[in-house]
């Protein structure tokens, strides 16, 4: 009779461990999903702020684009340069665009070298 109690306790402990593991996995999945959502929201907000009527927001958006470069930013930065009127912000955007174009050109050169090898 003592062994049945031990098995039942063991089964209860295993079930509890599985419940805890499942809850932890669910929590991790929710955290990852929330993180992805917040990152996308922040990127969209910074893209919108690039054309904000407030110059400080535009400067912050340019800083964000510089620290998170993407090929998708090329047309956005070109449109922004055609739209922007402030010389300081034009200079900053031009530097970011040039840096992004140079980085892409370097990547293409590396890809060509890798294909030739």
| Average pLDDT over every residue of 70-84 | 92
Closest CA to 89 of 48, 57, 114: 57
What's the pLDDT tens digit per position in 35-58? Answer: 887 877 776 676 778 999 999 999
The predicted pLDDT at position 3 comes to 56
Q: Is the pTM higher than 0.75?
A: no
Helices (H), the chain: 2-49, 55-67, 73-83, 87-116
**What's the rounded Cα separation, in Å, for the pair 111 and 65?**
24
The predicted pLDDT at position 72 comes to 86
Residue 74 CB: number of other CB atoms within 10 A?
14
Closest CA to 64 of 77, 75, 54: 77
Paired tokens of 58: 């535009």
| Average pLDDT over every residue of 5-17 | 72
Task: Name the CA radius of gyration of the chain, rounded.
Answer: 26
- Min mean pLDDT across 18-22, 82-86, 101-105, 109-113 is at 109-113
């Amino acid at each position: 009779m003592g062994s049945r109690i031990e098995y039942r306790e063991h089964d209860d402990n295993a079930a509890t461990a599985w419940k805890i593991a499942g809850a932890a996995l669910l929590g991790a999945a929710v955290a990852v999903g929330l993180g992805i959502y917040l990152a996308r929201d922040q990127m969209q907000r910074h893209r919108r702020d690039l054309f904000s009527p407030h110059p400080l927001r535009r400067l912050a958006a340019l800083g964000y684009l510089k620290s998170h470069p993407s090929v998708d930013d090329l047309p956005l930065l070109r449109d922004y340069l055609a739209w922007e009127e402030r010389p300081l912000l034009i200079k900053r955007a031009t530097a970011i665009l040039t840096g992004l174009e140079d980085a892409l050109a370097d990547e293409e050169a590396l890809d060509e070298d890798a294909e030739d090898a």
